[in-house]
């Protein structure tokens, strides 16, 4: 029996919701934003909807304006460990930076989560967009974009070697002989490179998935080439189906050039859905959210995205396109381009632009009926623009509950999304193979 290609759906959890004023919306519970019960409950809801994973972003600095938003950052693996204990199937994706971690620390954190969750861990690999992080780590400068990617390539190679450093059958746990582990099957990695020196082996056995799933976020030229080589799922931001198709085609082609199966690189754009029972109701919902924004917050975010401080400008004046310098991007080069494209395509006023970005920081915001949202998802899925989505509800938990209750059943009825899980690991959900550590194959070849 051939089964139809299935959508991957992750729930991207952001305290207070993805709309910058989501925490103020009626039904939000900002007083619970630091309560683990709240997140465990949310993850259970995503699991009941049979989502592939919950997803957490991160950055090791207070980069956003918390005066007006729930933009603090709890540490994702701490969050996910507590969620692992409250769920059984859903994947657990946490973001961590190759610029501000040591490979050894990171490898053991994710291997531990993979063990303790029964094979549900995924690492969203980023190089860190927030320059403010440097000063939290005794550095004066945030490494420049190309340098960050150079470090990340070496970093990921080391983490991979560490995850592979125990062969799958190294643990024998034989009470009769008294041997717990075959030490001949545990290998130092002896890495000496440009940025790191790591002896290994890892101090935990090989994890259930062999390696936790490699997810990546970063869509610049460097980011794409890195992703094509390493990523098994890619989180990306696109405003139009054409832009997503071009990204999708480029990544799949580059992945094939690296000798990889393009089907094992899932492209997952963000979507932030505003759902109403009619188009008018959905448009009104967007308006309601826009009325709650704090322009000072929005302008600060815009400044960070495009390097232009517009405080003091008339919000209803035309966006001053001529003030943007092509090198104004501070952190995320690809998001800078997303914003410029909106400006060039829509010629907005400053207020229109900040409303446009308030929904989900440059991700795809769509308002409409459940059928319309399902149609859009299906179109992107079937026209080479996406293999699935990171769903970014404007507010929690209502924004997710409506998506799960109204849109998911339509996708299911169309045969596009699973009725139930068919496996237990994140690799199972995403249809990704479990990688071999290489040692057994090498031994066989030399035998």
Ligand X SMILES: Cc1cc2nc3c(=O)[nH]c(=O)nc-3n(C[C@H](O)[C@H](O)[C@H](O)COP(=O)(O)O)c2cc1C
Given the rule CB under 6 A, which residues bind ligand X? 57-59, 95, 97, 126-130, 217-220, 222-223, 235-237, 331-334
Q: What does the CA dihedral 255, 258, 264, 268 come to, rounded to 10 degrees?
A: -30
Chain position carrying tokens 């440009």: 194
Distances (CA, A) of 406 to 359, 371, 373, 401: 20, 8, 10, 8
- Residue closer to ligand X by CB (options 36, 132) is 132
Minimum CB distance to ligand X, residue 344 (Å): 19
User: Closer to ligand X at the Cβ: 79 or 235?
Assistant: 235
Comparing C-alpha atoms, which of 281, 284, 238, 275 is closest to residue 372?
Answer: 275
Closest approach, Cβ 370 to ligand X, in A, equals 25
Asked if 21 contacts 288 with a C-beta cutoff of 8 angstroms, the reply is: no
CB nearer to ligand X: give 210 or 269: 269
| C-alpha closest to that of 211 among 263, 261, 161, 170 | 161
Nearer to ligand X, 160 or 369 (CB): 160
CB of 72 or CB of 180, closer to ligand X? 72
With tokens 């001529």, the residue in question is 322
SS3 54: strand
- Cβ-based nearer residue to ligand X, 305 or 343: 305
Tell me how far apart the terminal alpha carbons of the chain are, to the nearest angstrom. 38
We find the least distance from the C-beta atom of residue 35 to ligand X, in angstroms, to be 22
For residue 333, what is the enclosing H or E element? helix 333-346
**What is the C-alpha to C-alpha distance for residues 289 and 291, in angstroms, rounded to an integer?**
5
Shorter beta-carbon distance to ligand X: residue 122 or 218:
218
Q: How far is the CB of 279 from ligand X (least distance, A)?
A: 28
Residue indicated by tokens 């505003």: 274
We find the least distance from the C-beta atom of residue 143 to ligand X, in angstroms, to be 10
Shortest spacing between CB 343 and ligand X, in angstroms: 18
CB of 298 to ligand X, least distance (A): 19
Quote the tokens at residue 296. Answer: 């000072």
Q: Which is nearer to ligand X, 77 or 237 (CB)?
A: 237
- Minimum distance from residue 88 beta carbon to ligand X (Å): 26
The continuous run of DSSP H or E covering 446 comes out as helix 439-446
Give the HSE-up count for residue 115: Cα atoms under 13 Å, Cβ half-sphere: 13
Report DSSP state, residue 294: -
User: Least separation, in Å, of the C-beta of 134 and ligand X?
Assistant: 12
Residue number with CB closer to ligand X (331 or 368): 331
Q: Which of 353, 405, 364 is nearest to 273 (CA)?
A: 364
């Amino acid at each position: 029996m051939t089964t139809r290609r299935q959508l991957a759906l992750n729930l991207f959890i952001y305290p207070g919701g993805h709309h910058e004023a989501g925490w103020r919306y009626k039904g939000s519970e900002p007083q619970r934003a630091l309560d683990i019960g709240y997140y465990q409950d949310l993850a259970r809801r995503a699991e009941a909807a049979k989502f592939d994973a919950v997803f957490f972003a991160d950055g090791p600095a207070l980069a956003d304006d918390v005066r007006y938003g729930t933009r603090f950052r709890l540490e994702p693996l701490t969050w996910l460990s507590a969620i692992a204990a409250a769920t059984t199937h859903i994947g657990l994706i946490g973001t961590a930076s190759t610029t501000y971690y040591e490979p050894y620390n990171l490898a053991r954190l994710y291997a531990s989560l993979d063990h303790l969750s029964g094979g549900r861990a995924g690492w969203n690999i980023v190089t860190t967009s927030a320059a403010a992080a440097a000063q939290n780590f005794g550095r004066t400068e945030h490494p420049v974009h190309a340098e960050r990617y150079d470090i990340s390539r070496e970093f990921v190679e080391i983490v991979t070697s560490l995850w592979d450093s125990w062969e799958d059958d190294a643990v024998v746990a034989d009470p009769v002989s008294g041997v717990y582990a075959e030490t001949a099957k545990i290998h130092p990695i002896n890495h000496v490179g440009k940025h790191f020196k790591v002896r290994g082996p890892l101090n935990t056995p090989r994890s259930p998935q062999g390696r936790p799933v490699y997810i990546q976020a970063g869509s610049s030229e460097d980011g794409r080439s890195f992703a094509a080589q390493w990523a098994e799922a890619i989180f990306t931001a696109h405003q139009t189906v054409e832009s997503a198709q071009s990204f999708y085609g480029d990544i799949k082609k580059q992945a094939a050039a690296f000798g990889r199966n393009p089907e094992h690189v899932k492209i997952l754009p963000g979507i932030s859905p505003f759902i109403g029972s009619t188009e008018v109701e959905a448009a009104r919902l967007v308006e309601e959210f826009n009325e709650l924004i704090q322009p000072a917050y929005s302008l600060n975010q815009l400044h960070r995205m495009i390097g232009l401080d517009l405080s003091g400008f008339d919000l209803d004046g035309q966006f001053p396109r001529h003030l943007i310098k092509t090198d104004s991007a501070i952190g995320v080069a690809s998001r800078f381009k997303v914003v410029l494209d909106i400006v060039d395509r829509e010629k907005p006023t400053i207020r229109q632009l900040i409303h446009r970005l308030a929904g989900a920081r440059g991700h795809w915001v769509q308002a409409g009926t459940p059928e319309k949202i399902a149609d859009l998802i299906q179109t992107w899925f079937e026209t080479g623009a996406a293999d699935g989505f990171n769903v970014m509800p404007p507010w929690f938990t209502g924004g997710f509950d409506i998506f799960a209750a109204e849109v998911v059943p339509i996708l299911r009825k169309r045969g596009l999304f699973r009725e139930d899980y068919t496996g237990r690991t994140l690799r199972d959900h995403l249809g990704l193979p479990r990688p071999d550590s290489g040692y057994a194959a090498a031994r066989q070849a030399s035998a």
